[in-house]
Amino acid sequence: MMARFTLILLLTTALVGGCSLVTIADRYGNEYGGWYNHGADFAWQRDLCESEMEKQNVAAPARKLAMRCCMRDHGVPVEPPPRCEASRAG
In this predicted model, which residue has the larger pLDDT, 11 or 67? Answer: 67
pLDDT at residue number 90: 40
For residue range 14-31, list pLDDT tens digits in order: 444 444 568 999 999 999
Burial label for 8, CB within 10 Å (0-12, 13-18, 19+), is exposed
pLDDT at residue number 12: 56
Q: Write out the H or E segment, with its range, that includes residue 31.
A: strand 31-33
Q: Is the pLDDT of residue 88 over 70?
A: no
For residue range 39-67, list pLDDT tens digits in order: 888 999 999 999 999 999 999 999 999 99
Domain ranges of the chain: 22-89
Which pTM was predicted?
0.69
Residues linked to residue 31 through DSSP beta bridges, in sequence order:
25
